[in-house]
A = this chain, B = another copy of it.
């Protein structure tokens, strides 16, 4: 599956369509994560772009307008900023966990300023997000803090299961749902709720977000295995290094020839996963396990997009579906 010319054009169209929303969110983020001139402000400026395309906040606004454009405005941009700052904070903390050196082609904060500063700046971004959420009336503050609790639980579970080469697919799916997908679901849910959506519309958008969040993480894990570091813009191969089992590897372990499985298992368990990365990658690809993972992600996206059938037809609904397709096509 490769980005064909028409896919590339579709992606550019997507980015153009969400650009006005992204600009609004960008302005809100600047206000929310504001710090007095000096060291903290410089750090915030360095990490502010880590979230990249601002997909999550774009989804808050698109979900809102797909439900009711009249009721979608500044509050949605502020909610988008909150979601994006929670996401950015988890990236800053994740980079410590992964020992990653690059993020979006820039040095990670942990690499640049040390782990202490990375821990504290993540906390600062979280506190900034919660302070903003608390100033928005309605249930968003409580709900988004509760979502973050689940994100943390998913990440703890992931660390705890590292080194477990027999990780079950069910547990993998639980981990990625909590650590990644729930925040996409929450983005769509608050967007719909704050636009006065019906229970059915809110449930559909929540399920849509969850599905494409799951697919996003599956593709992220595929890219860690077979992506191009220069294109992706972050350190890759960290999953093999850390004995972190992901969908293609779980599929491989279950379906490949037992002698090959044994040698990959041996490489991983003896800490040679990173060093042997290209051999392992070739074996996993040859077994069809990368295709199987991509197929699974595709099914997640198809099912997610179908959930939007209950919404009235709109440009925003189509843009949300384009985001879903983008998740499959992305190279970074």
Q: Which residue of B lies closest to A179 (CB)?
A: B120
CA distance A133 to B145 in the complex (A): 10
- The verdict on A93 contacting chain B, using a C-beta distance below 8 Å, is yes
**Known contacts A39-B160, A40-B153, A43-B156: does B115 contact A127 (CB below 8 Å)?**
no
**B-facing mask of A138-173, CB < 8 A → 1, else 0?**
000110011011011101110110000000000000
Chain A stretch 52-77: residues in CB contact (< 8 A) with chain B: none
B123:A122 contact, CB within 8 angstroms: yes
Give the shortest distance, in Å, between A190 (CB) and chain B (any CB).
13
Q: How far is the CA of A146 from the CA of B141 in the complex (A)?
A: 14
A306 within 8 A of B: no
A270 at the interface (CB under 8 A from B): no
Shortest Cβ distance from A160 into B: residue = B39
Q: How large is the interface on A (under 10, 10 to 19, 20 to 34, 35 or more residues)?
A: 35 or more
Q: Report B-chain residues with C-beta under 8 Å of the C-beta of A43.
A: 156
Q: Which residue of B lies closest to A146 (CB)?
A: B131
CB-based contact B124/A97 at 8 Å:
no
Q: Is A121 an interface residue (CB 8 A)?
A: yes
Q: Which DSSP category, helix, strand, loop or mixed, fits chain A's interface?
A: helix
Is A157 a contact of B39 with CB atoms below 8 Å?
yes
Q: Which residues of B contact A135 (CB under 8 A)?
A: 142
Bound: A135/B143 CA distance, A: 10
Which of chain A's residues 3-43 have a Cβ closer than 8 Å to chain B?
A: 35-36, 39-40, 43
Chain A residues at the B interface, C-beta cutoff of 8 Å: 35-36, 39-40, 43, 89-90, 93, 96-97, 114-117, 119-124, 126-128, 130-131, 133-135, 141-142, 145-146, 148-149, 151-153, 155-157, 159-160
25 pairs, CB–CB < 8 Å, chain A vs chain B: A35-B153, A39-B157, A39-B160, A40-B153, A40-B156, A43-B156, A97-B116, A97-B120, A114-B159, A117-B159, A122-B123, A123-B123, A123-B152, A124-B149, A124-B153, A127-B145, A127-B146, A127-B148, A127-B149, A128-B145, A128-B149, A130-B145, A131-B146, A134-B142, A134-B145
